[in-house]
Structure formats: C-alpha cells, structure tokens
Structure 1
Amino acid sequence: MASIVGGFVMPHEPGIFYMPRERWTEGQHRVMAAYGEIARRIGELEATAVVVVGADHYVLFGPGCLPSYLIGIGEVSGPYEKFAGIDQGEIPNHAPLAGHIARHGRDHGYDWAVAKVLRVDHSIGLPARVCALVNPSVRGVIPVYLASGVEPVISLRRAHQLGGALRAAVEAWDTDDRVVVIGSGGISHWVGMPQMGRVNEAFDHRVLDCVARGDSHGLLEMSDAEILEQGGNGAFEIRNFLCMMGALPGRTGRVLCYEHGEEWVTGLGFAEVLEPA
C-alpha cells in the first residue's frame, strides 16, 4: 500500500520571492536555505507524491464560491503571480491518487469539493516549485485548499480530521507511492489590518513547538478569538499545519528555521515531522 513518509510546514510569504538575489539579507539567505533543506529532505525520503495544503487568498474562488476544503484532481498550473525564476506553467498532478483521495473521502464522510482544472496561487505554487518538483522522484503535486485564509474558515478540528482522512485514503491506495504532506502558511500576521507588519514571536514559537512535539491538542485548544488576538487573521493558516499533523498523528519532528524581519509581514516558520523508520 501507499504510505505517508513525512510532513513539513513552511511559509508562502510572496515577499520572499520578489526580492532579487543581490538584495538578499542574512535572514533571506537563511530562509532560502531552509527551503533548500526541505527540498533535499523530500528527495531523501524518495517521495513520489507531495500533497500541498494551502489557503485561498480570495483570488481563486471569489465570493461566489468559498469551499471549506477542495482538492485538485486534474490539470494544475501556477502560481498565477509572477516571481523571478519561478515557472508559471503546468504543475504535474498525481491525478490518480488525487481522484482516489476524493472518492475515498466521499465514502467515509468527507465531501471534497474538486477542481478538474486549477490555477493555483503562491500558497500551493511556491512549495510545489521550490521544494517538490526539484526532485526527480516526485511524480506529481496534489493541491489541497482549506478555508483558512478567507472567512468563514474551516474549524481547527475539521482541518485536523481532514489530515486523518488524507492518511486513510493514502493507506488505502494499492501502490508503492511514498507521500509527503506540506502545510503551507504563515504564522503571525495581520493581513490588511492596522497591525500589518507586526509579528508575535512568542506565538510563532508556541505554534512551531506544538508542531515539533506532535502536539495537535496544543493547537486545537486555541480559539479563533485567541488566534486573532495573538497571531492576527493571517494566523488562521495554522489550519494547514493541523491538516498535515492529522496526516501524521502524534509524530514528532524538529524546527528547521524561524525568521522575521522588515523584509516580510509574517513570522516564517519551517519544521519537519517524520514517520518512524
């Protein structure tokens, strides 16, 4: 059967990729090294498929359709934003596995919204381009969007449960696929609010510590009011982290990097979670 062999969390702050290399700060170099470390680890894990869990930023679906959770099962391309040195064309999808996840979910109480054609934004496109597709073992990237960026947001608990549904579907897939799950999101940031540019380092480390210890309860016990106060509306994206953690229940890991500074508007956290050998 297929298996989930590891998980990661990483930011998708577009400002990281707009900055030309000749203007990189020391923090920028550390951030790019962290992306490189995750790409290397995905290769070492011999991953054949990478599920990237991201957020809609009100640019893909618009007010006419706000799915709680969606999976791309067909053609994928992006990111639609232009970044220096980042391709915007086709992103190979592992369509057979993606379709299986959607069907398995429907059979077990998870009514996935599906997209047969999907042009992703930076929350999926950047992890796919920078960390997944640089590895020849990766046959495809499966995009998953949670309502974690635009209200009404999916509940923390449902996001975590959805990770469990991903795991169950993967383990019911009769192949030798090795799957990595990425939770893509910023930690503290106040999008479009007066506090924009502020970062709560203590909150960010609290979140990353929970990820590294495999402590999903520590995140699930937060209320949205607390998250908004301590981490801003952008911190609702920790739902993407919880989905990854639900796919690797109780697994521990390590923080790879944490940065914040004037270059960006969010705390940037990178962590790895491993399956036991």
Structure 2
Amino acid sequence: MAALVGGFLMPHDPFMSAAPHAAPKEKVDNTMASFRQIEERIRELAADTVVIIGDDHYCIFGPHCIPRCLIAIGDVEGPVEDWLNIPRGPIANHPELARHILERGYDEGIDWAFANAISVDHAIAVPHHLAVRSNPKLRTIPIYLNAAVAPVIRSPRAYAIGQSIRCAIDAWPGDERVVVFGTGGISHWVGTAEMGRVNEVFDRRILHMVEQGDIDSLLALTDAEILEQGGNGAFELKNWICAMGVMGKLKAETIGYEAVPEWICGCGFAELKAA
C-alpha cells in the first residue's frame, strides 16, 4: 500500500527566484536554507511522489473559467511565466495516482476539474524548482485550489479535499511514498495600495496554530479576517489547510520564517508530522 510519509508548508513567492537579491542577504540565505532543509528531509523520508497544492494567479485560468479545485492527470510542464529565472520544461507527473485521486474524489463528492495537459505557474514551479527538481526520482502531482480570485474556496471545503486525497493515497495499491506540499502565503497584499506590507504578528499566529495542529482555529478564521489581517494573498492559507487535511491529526515544527517586504510576502515554512 502507498504511504503518506510527510508534509511541508512553504511560500511560493515568485520573487524568490525572479528577484532573490532584492531582499537582504540574510533573509535570502535563511529562506533558501529552509528550502534546502525540506529538500533534504524529502530524501531522508525516501519519498518518490510529491503532491503540490497551489493556486493560479490569472496565469493559467482567467475570467472564462476559474475551477474551484483542479488536479493534473497528464502532461505537466512549466513555468508558464518567462520571468521567474526557472528553465521551462517538463515536470514528471504520476498520472496513475493522480487519476486515482480524481476518481476517488468523485466517489466522495469532490467535483474535481482535471487537466490532461497543463503549463503550471509559479505556485507549483517555484516549490518544485527549489525543493524537488534536484531529485530526479520524484514525481509531482500538481493540484490547484482557487485561493486567489474571489469568491475563493471555503476553508472547510479545502480541508475536505485534503481528506479525500489522503483516503485515495491510503487506498492506492502501489508502494509509493508520498509527501504533500501546501504552498503560498503567508501575509501579502497583491495589487493593492498596501502591496509590500507584511503582518508578522498574523504570520506567527498562523504558524503557532500549525505547530499545535490546531485545524479548528484555522478553519474558524473568516475570509474577512484573513483579508483584513493577512491581505488578499493570505487566502493561500487554504492551500495549507488542504495539506493539513491530507495529513490528518498532526503536530508541526516551524522550519523558518522571514518577513520580506522586498518580496511583498511573509515567508513561512513548517514540517507537518503525524501526531
């Protein structure tokens, strides 16, 4: 049987690759060290498959169609943005397991959209580039939640999707060793007058909830509260909540945190562990 062997939360800030030196060197070094720690932990866990949960930023989808939840079940390549300083190319998927997650979700009332071919944006490409690409044995299953364009996915639904993903992994007859990434956040304001603001108090409050495995408090955060205290970019916490749903009962260890106004983001990292 397949095994879920770990989970990680991390930012997917495009400026980490596109403009790393815009930030102070110490913050850059600490951020990259956090990614290296995740990269090393994945090797220690002997993982062979990564489920990366992110959200589109009007790079793939648009006013014509914004899926609430989408899973890539076929060809994957990217990044679609040409300014990330990341070479564009194929990303190895695990289509069989991805399709199994899709089908299992349908049986459980998850109305997945799916892509037989997709060019991913920075939500998938940046974490893949910084924590996955160096390990050629890893296959990646991209998942997109609408955590960026209002009306965004509801947090309880994001958690339920995570639970469905976990049930599918547990029911998979192969011997895969899977880790899950919840990406994005924490506080950032995108395309508003407050762009560049970071709310470190809010960010550390979120990380404390994660450390305690306090999913109830995370689910109790209203969208209005998230928007006021964390900005429109903090809706990406729903990607974290989904990953926590995959993990189930958990505790977590904060790997690192940096408030980086130069990257317009509070960058938080955590490792999720079964409680």
Q: TM-score range by the shorter chain?
A: over 0.9
User: 1:100 — aligned with what?
Assistant: 100
User: 2:162 — aligned with what?
Assistant: 163
User: 2:265 — aligned with what?
Assistant: 266
Confirm or deny that 1:3 pairs with 2:30: no
CA-atom RMSD in angstroms: 1.5
User: Given that residues 188 and 231 in structure 1 are in contact (C-alpha distance below 8 angstroms), is that contact kept between their aligned partners in structure 2?
Assistant: yes
Alpha-carbon distance in 2 for matches of 1:226, 1:9: 21
Instruction: For 2:257, give the aligned amino acid.
Output: Y
User: Given that residues 188 and 235 in structure 1 are in contact (C-alpha distance below 8 angstroms), is that contact kept between their aligned partners in structure 2?
Assistant: yes
Instruction: For 2:170, give the aligned amino acid.
Output: E
Q: Which runs of 5 or more structure 2 residues have no equivalent in the other structure?
A: none
- CA offset at residue 95 of structure 1? 0.7
Flag the 1:229–1:22 CA change in 2: closer, same or farther, 3 A: closer
User: 2:255 — aligned with what?
Assistant: 256
| Equivalences for residues 5-154 of structure 1 within 5 A | 5-19=5-19, 25-82=25-82, 86-138=86-138, 140-154=139-153
Instruction: For 2:235, give the aligned amino acid.
Output: F
Tell me which moved more, 257-266 or 228-237.
257-266
Matched residue SS, 1:267: strand
Instruction: For 2:216, give the aligned amino acid.
Output: H
Report the TM-score when normalising by structure 2.
0.96
Alpha-carbon distance in 1 for matches of 2:261, 2:5: 35
Report the TM-score when normalising by structure 1.
0.95
Alpha-carbon distance in 2 for matches of 1:8, 1:266: 18
Instruction: For 1:30, give the aligned amino acid.
Output: N
Alpha-carbon distance in 1 for matches of 2:145, 2:22: 35
User: 1:236 — aligned with what?
Assistant: 235
Flag the 1:29–1:158 CA change in 2: closer, same or farther, 3 A: same
- CA offset at residue 99 of structure 1? 0.7
- CA offset at residue 62 of structure 1? 0.8
Q: Which runs of 5 or more structure 1 residues have no equivalent in the other structure?
A: none
Flag the 1:123–1:66 CA change in 2: closer, same or farther, 3 A: same
Instruction: For 1:104, give the aligned amino acid.
Output: R
- CA offset at residue 90 of structure 1? 0.2
Flag the 1:20–1:243 CA change in 2: closer, same or farther, 3 A: closer
Flag the 1:56–1:23 CA change in 2: closer, same or farther, 3 A: closer
Tell me which moved more, 37-46 or 15-24.
15-24
User: Given that residues 149 and 237 in structure 1 are in contact (C-alpha distance below 8 angstroms), is that contact kept between their aligned partners in structure 2?
Assistant: yes
Instruction: For 1:130, give the aligned amino acid.
Output: L
Flag the 1:202–1:176 CA change in 2: closer, same or farther, 3 A: same
User: 2:223 — aligned with what?
Assistant: 224
Instruction: Give me the identity figure in percent.
Output: 48
Write out per-residue CA displacement over residues 34-92 of structure 1, whole angstroms, 9 at most, x where no aligned residue: 11111111111111110000011112111111110000000000112235662210000
Alpha-carbon distance in 1 for matches of 2:120, 2:230: 25
